[in-house]
Amino acid sequence: MALLEVRDLVVQFHTHDGTVHAVNGVSLDVEEGETLGLVGESGCGKSVTNLAVMRLLPRPAGRIVGGQVRFEGIDLAGLPESQMRELRGRDIAMIFQDPMTSLNPVLTIEEQMVETIRAHRDVRQAEARERAIELLRMVGIPRPEARLKSFPHHFSGGMRQRVMIAMALALEPKLLIADEPTTALDVTIQAQVLELLQRLTTERGTAVILITHDLGVVAGMAHRINVMYAGFVVETGLTTELFAHPRHPYTVGLLHSIPRLDAEEGEPLIPIEGTPPDLRRPPVGCPFAPRCAWRLPACWEDNPALEPVLRGATVETTGPRATHRIACWNPPLPQEAAAGRPLREGFVPAPPPGGTLRAPSELEVPVEEDLVVFEPGGGPVTALPGAHELPEPPAGDGR
Amino acid sequence: MTARLPGTAERPETGAGDATASSRTATASAGRGADGHALLEVSDLRMYFPITEGILLERHVGDVRAVDGVSLEIRRGETLGLVGESGCGKSTTGRAITRLYRPTGGRIVFDGTDITRAEGEPLRRIRRRMQMIFQDPYSSLNPRMTAAGIVGEPLDIHAIGTKTERRERVRELFRIVGLDPDFGERYPHEFSGGQRQRIGVARSLAVNPDLIVADEPISALDVSIQAQIINLLERLQAQFGLTYLFIAHDLSVVRHISDRIAVMYLGRIVELAGTRELHAAPLHPYSVALLSAVPIPDPAVEARRRRVILRGDVPNPASPPPGCHFHTRCWLRERLGNPPECETVSPPLAEWRPRHFAACHFVDRLGEMPESAAPATSGVSRPPARETPPA
Ligand SMILES: Nc1ncnc2c1ncn2[C@@H]1O[C@H](COP(=O)(O)OP(=O)(O)OP(=O)(O)O)[C@@H](O)[C@H]1O
Ligand SMILES: Nc1ncnc2c1ncn2[C@@H]1O[C@H](COP(=O)(O)OP(=O)(O)OP(=O)(O)O)[C@@H](O)[C@H]1O
Ligand code: SF4
Ligand SMILES: [Mg+2]
Ligand SMILES: [Mg+2]
């Protein structure tokens, strides 16, 4: 039994223009002392997954429609709100991208820290204050005694995030959920904050879920990574394994579309064509299919399950031997993953069935030979470098 | 061995074999991705924003020195990257160069014409040749105009062509940036972020500019979309011989797209060098720290990397530290036992290696630092650098 177990979580938002399918069956486990990275681009459901775990979804729009969340074996859905409130902060703490959303602007740092500590621990004012000073010192706030009297707006962004970390770790939680903790910070300040976070959580054996869209950040911080796309986990594995042998087209695409500081000079970027899907439409087929260079006809119809890369392998969900799993009908071969595109002779991504599905981004037209070609009324037909023979575009419906 | 930056008022000869810039041609021959001539020369540019107090009688109590003596040169056809942390003055530099601001001091020479104080018709003519692309594709486009209207607006402003010609040009611009011209009648909110940025790019190209100042053009975009825009900008540069000032805080992106890079800190350029040179051997302690702080998406690399972690925050540009602006956070100064010069004397941007400028008193002591302080590389052997100009 892992510390946190999320099974088949489904979250939807009911809005005036339809149901948003934000999280579509996410499973994840986190073990004590483990750092799990959650990566994926904006809107893929990283924050919503964790808000659901914490039972902090905005009501009434947000609903957990299915699945279970267990923390230390306890089903969190069944807990009364009072116990859930106890658990938040004490056992599971959260830090957000913008510390100002969780710091109260009209209270001093001292008032907030003392209040947090005393809400969960039976200690006197003076003792809580001592603990607050100790925590501020621990996160590297100079002259903590003096800074206790400051208000949050007296601090810079980096300092506020340190204060947040101090408050989050005040009660020695077992799990820390850090949602884009450094996204708003400058890179030199990010380095400070990440170093601090890593040191403190390692020392205490705190489990961490680190949410970020920056693959560089998880590469240095996480033991394991879940790659999310459109509310699904599409690839999961050990950090080393996932970077060395990415097997999902989306992961491969991400790795090739960001410039690396240590890339070889002149190495071109291979963009992922199209745009992320509109989550107001219920998912059909593989969510990545419209943008995928590897897609097969089946990809448009059936959503692949998250399965071990080595078919039939027993699945370990946590720890240093966690199983590398992907949700894909046609995983890139290792040499394709390295090249960032399919290399199979004459391979062309399957056009949408009957041309009825919309192209990934119907407003964009090809600008380079190796981009997706759009035929009026038809689906995208990709001209891959090396694939000179284009099949006939399927008969369109005249759209 | 010190000399001033090409473009500064005085240009003494240097000791370096390859002359800095005692003449324009000398500099020109240095260009990596350029045809040779300086399109833009900026010297000692200053842009101060007054801080006032009082409601009825506003008293001038000080200045935010957003840009405090910037000198740089951009050669025709090249991309100069401008990097630095939030608030260091990158956008202000870009806006002053395109004369959206009236500079407090210094000189801006565009294609041989001093435009520092240009007004009225001459300024309008110059503006046609310099365009800006902004960070936020959501707020930088007028929500009440159609996409075609937005893209064609500069043509209207500058009264270029007949109505039919303009409409045809707009359709062409749509195709150039990879948008379907038939969607010109849609409004910005009907496009995705990446598509909106394409609209912004199309608009900037409308009047055939020479220089494009791109201010964080991809920062607001999804990771998977950023490469689309980077590749688009690169293709357009090759196609139309554009010159870019590319502003960003992400060093990986800047390194990818730039021929040369200027690193800014608190209103000043602290290092200026060819992209390869800056990356292989940064000369300013701030650049070293900045390079080492950028996360690299490779756990094997990250595991053996040692970071230079800077202490504290960037000081307030309203009261920058005396001497070297960086001294309050400088790790090199600390390791050298806090020599007094750092606090008292502002180090000039000097040419320490051919065409490699840095503003630090102790560049020559950087080499004594432990190997681990140098930014890590993947260990991948580097191919000979590309020598062909992009244009
Ligand atoms: N309150 C809400 N009402 C309606 N839809 C919502 C709400 N909150 C989130 N969503 C939708 O749920 C989906 C998942 O959002 P989520 O915030 O989890 O994304 P994310 O992966 O955290 O992205 P980011 O990197 O931008 O933070 C998105 O499509 C978003 O639009
Ligand atoms: N119009 C203005 N009035 C007053 N101060 C300004 C103005 N514009 C910029 N500043 C200040 O000048 C400094 C430099 O700002 P600038 O926007 O040029 O920085 P930047 O490097 O572009 O930062 P970022 O990465 O956040 O965009 C900042 O301290 C900023 O607050
Ligand atoms: S190959 Fe198919 S299943 Fe795999 S990512 Fe592409 S579209 Fe999805
Ligand atoms: Mg989020
Ligand atoms: Mg800016």
**CA nearest neighbour of B5 among B20, B17, B19, B15:** B20
The encoded tokens of residue B354 equal: 């051919």
Cα A193 to Cα A141, A217, A223, A287: the distances in Å are 12, 11, 18, 34
CA angle (A211 as vertex; A73, A174 as ends), nearest 5:
35
Q: List pLDDT tens digits, range A74-97.
A: 999 999 999 999 999 899 999 988
Q: What percent of chain A has pLDDT over 70?
A: 89
pLDDT at residue B36 in the model? 63
Residue-wise pLDDT tens digits, A114-148: 998 998 889 999 999 999 999 998 888 888 998 99
As assigned by CATH, the class of the A4-107+170-326 domain is alpha beta
What are the pocket residues of ligand 2 if the criterion is a CB atom closer than 6 Å to any ligand atom? B 49, 64, 66, 84, 86-92, 249, 317
Phi, psi angles (nearest 5°) of residue A257: -100, -5
Region B7-30: mean pLDDT is 34
Token code pair at residue A250: 């989306």
- Predicted confidence at residue A385, as pLDDT, reads 30
Average pLDDT, chain A: 87
Q: Which two tokens stand for residue B256?
A: 């990818």
**Over 70: is that where the pLDDT of B237 sits?**
yes
Smallest CA–CA separation between A146 and chain B, in Å? 17
Write out chain A residues lying below 8 Å of B224, CB-based: 41, 253-254, 257, 271-272, 276, 291
Q: What is the mean pLDDT of chain B?
A: 84
| This prediction's pTM | 0.86
Average pLDDT over residues A210-220: 95
- A271: nearest CB among B183, B231, B253: B231
Radius of gyration of chain A (CA): 23
Cα-based distances in Å from A155 to A137, A189, B314? 15, 13, 12
A303 or B376: which carries more pLDDT confidence?
Answer: A303
B155 within 8 A of B128, measured Cβ to Cβ: no
- Beta strands across the sheet bearing B105-110: B59-75, B38-53, B105-110, B113-114
ipTM: 0.83
Q: What is the pLDDT of residues A145-192, one digit of tens each?
A: 989 999 988 888 888 888 988 889 888 999 999 999 998 888 998 998
The alpha carbon of residue B79 is apart from the nearest alpha carbon of chain A, in Å, by 14
Residue A236 pairs with which residues in a beta bridge?
A: A226, A325
Give the Å distances, CA to CA, from A266 to A253, A259, A273, A337, B389: 18, 10, 21, 19, 12
Q: Is pLDDT above 90 for A222?
A: yes
Boundaries of every domain in chain B: 21-49+62-262, 282-368
B21-49+62-262 CATH pick, 3.20.20.70, 3.40.640.10, 3.40.50.300, 3.30.360.10: 3.40.50.300
Q: Do B296 and A239 touch (CB under 8 A)?
A: no
Identify the residue with better confidence: A377 or A16.
A16
Nearest residue, CB atoms, A219 vs list B249, B255, B299? B299
Residue nearest atom 2 in ligand 3 by C-alpha distance: A295
Kindly report, residue by residue over B303-360, the tens digit of the pLDDT. 998 889 898 888 888 889 999 999 999 999 999 999 999 999 999 999 999 999 999 9
Determine the residue of chain A that is closest to B193 in CA distance: A275
The minimum CA-CA distance between A215 and chain B, rounded to whole Å, is: 5
